[in-house]
Amino acid sequence: MNYINIGKENSGNIDIYYEDHGTGKPVVLIHGWPLSGDSWEKQVTVLLDAGYRVISYDRRGFGNSSKPTSGYDYDTFAEDLDKLMMKLDLHNAMLVGFSMGGGEVARYLGKYGSKRVERAVFLYSVPPFLLKTPDNPSGVDKSVFDGIMKAIAADRLAFLSKFLSDFYNVDVLAGKRVSDQVVQFSWNVAAGASPKGTLDCVQAWLTDFRKDLTHIGVPTLIIHGDADRILPIDATGRRLHETIKGSRYIEIKDGPHGIIWTHSEEVNRELLAFSGV
């Protein structure tokens, strides 16, 4: 198993788990909350077959990575990504962020620039700014996030069951585009994540990425679906496209949040077309 050390907490190391396969130009896959790099199962093989070097990793607190009690903010997440990029000496990379992972793409490019990055992809992502404020009236009211944090604190495992049902739009897509086993596997991964990290990440969702997005000067692809129950399209995908001038925008009809599984063929087709294959 491959790990990179990114710090320490008291007497223990903080290590990030990653996988690095294939050759060619690198594609870095950054997963969503509360899952792990395993959620990219439907994309990895397709990208490898297309001749890419595919790197996925588990965000701190999730999957096989260490579970520290701090660092669940986007400055730290971007720093973790930068350490991985430097460790693997990646250049001309395509960064692909799903859901919460889109925040890493935005903050990384805003903070570290694009010297190692050739293209950026936002799949159902948190940016530009999720929180409703006077200068961001199309955002989501803070009470929604307070309710999520309260539910996680009260019974994290029960919350995850309801969340993943909405993640995959199970009431509509079960037995068609997603199986009970996939939902159960996602729950198992989410249940194994750091309880504190799971909770703290909700606060990180409220990060304002608008300044970061002004620094994006590489070709950018945005994919979002009109049936996303987790990240409302009007507050995220559509506004992100308006914010990043010249971005390519794909809207998938009836696409739920868990699109990288339920609509993997559509996602993979767009990824390969955007990457130049």
Catalytic residues: 99, 228, 257
Mutual angle of helices 180-191 and 142-167, in 10-degree steps: 130
How do strand 12-21 and strand 2-9 relate by DSSP bridges?
antiparallel
26 token code pair: 């690198």
C-alpha 179/C-alpha 197 separation (Å) is 27
Q: Which two tokens stand for residue 179?
A: 């199986």
d(CA 31, CA 123): 10
Helix (H) or strand (E) holding 17: strand 12-21
Question: Taking phi first (over 0 means left), then psi (-120 to 50 degrees means alpha), and beta for anything else, what does residue 27 get?
Answer: beta
CB burial of residue 106 (10 Å; 0-12, 13-18, 19+): buried
Closest by CA position to 43, among listed 234, 275, 246? 275
| Cis peptide, bond prior to residue 34, ω within 30 of zero | yes
Q: How far apart are the first and last CA of the chain?
A: 30
Count of CA atoms in the C-beta half-sphere (13 A) of 39 = 35
